[in-house]
Every structure is written in C-alpha cells, then in structure tokens.
Structure 1
Amino acid sequence: MGPKRTGKTSIIKIVSNELKGIYIDASGIKSLKELDKALINSLQAKIQINLKVIKIEIDKKSVKGLQDLLNKLGETIIFIDEIQNIILTWFISLLSNAYNN
C-alpha cells in the first residue's frame, strides 16, 4: 500500500524475479475463477520446482484448481499486485487453507 506512481509495482516485479516467485497483476480480477486462471496462465505451461539435486516438473494440465496449484507450489512466493481488488472473505479463507496444508 502506498501512493500511486511511486514504484511499488516495479519493486514487486524485481523482487519476484530475484526470488523466482510468481507475479500476478490482479487489476481487473473480480472472482476466484479469474484469479485461478491468471495464476495458472502466469506459470506458462510448466512449474519447475528445484529441490537441490531433484528437479520436479508439474505440467499445468495436471492442476485442477487454485488450491491444488497452491499445494503443488510448496514454498514458492506469489506476489499479487493490486490485491485490494480481490480481498474478500473467500480469498483470505483460501490462503489460510493453503497455509495450513
């Protein structure tokens, strides 16, 4: 949160890239289905999780929904810009559920 046009998005994109996280621009997203689609699309076909020596690839077709995707991402950081547009009870509940699993 902060004043418009002060570089918040630029910083988020740089940090996301450095930490190999996932960046999502949530402006215009109004529902869980739209967030689900945006998250899956941002993965561009494959998620690669590097576990030291072992590399696991998960094809996006095997992801059935947002909660399934969040579980498969493990400790990947997801950066959601313009989140104020989608902060609803269902979103907070979803994040809580993913964190607890």
Structure 2
Amino acid sequence: MARRCELTGKAVLVGHLVSHSNRKTKRRFLPNLVKVTLQSEALERSVRLRISAAALRSVEHRGGLDAFLVKAGEDDLSLGARALKREIARKHAEALAS
C-alpha cells in the first residue's frame, strides 16, 4: 500500500535533516494519511478511502465527496477514485436526462 493520498495525490517527500554543525542526513516527510468512510449522495452508498487530512478538509469545504470529485483533475486521482468519478458523472447524467 503506497503512502499516497487517493484524492489529491500527495505523497512522501524527501529532504535533509540538518544538524547544528550543518551536516545533512536523508529523511522522509510522510503525509498525514487517515482512513475515512465518506458518503456519496449520487451513488447512495459509503466509500472507504485513505486520504490526507488536508484532502479531508478540502472535501468538507467543497461540500462532500461528489462535489470534490467533479472538480478534481484526473491526473491526481487514484484508479479507484477515477472509477468513482466516472460513476458519479454517469449518475448525474442519468438524473439530468430524466
């Protein structure tokens, strides 16, 4: 399981730990990932995702999972999130057609 946010694509960064004497050693900056269950109004079901805490705030700010995925770009989303986005778009299209 990769340390990558499924919605925003935020991943591990690499940098240096710098001592007082200015020696540099490698270190990793890990994203703050949390396992959450989000509700999809369009699909009428819950979805389990492993996302960063910042992405969770963004989802809440945009008004839920459906609104976030509609505005999100395809490049940053995981394969599962892309499939969810397509399902939601299909449901919205069906709702508009009827």
TM-score, normalized by the shorter chain, greater than 0.5? no
Rg larger in structure: 2
Task: Indicate the structure with greater helix content.
Answer: 1
Compute the TM-score of the two structures, normalised by the length of structure 2: 0.31
- Does 1 or 2 have the higher relative contact order (CA < 8 Å, sep 6+)? 1
Task: Indicate the structure with greater strand content.
Answer: 2
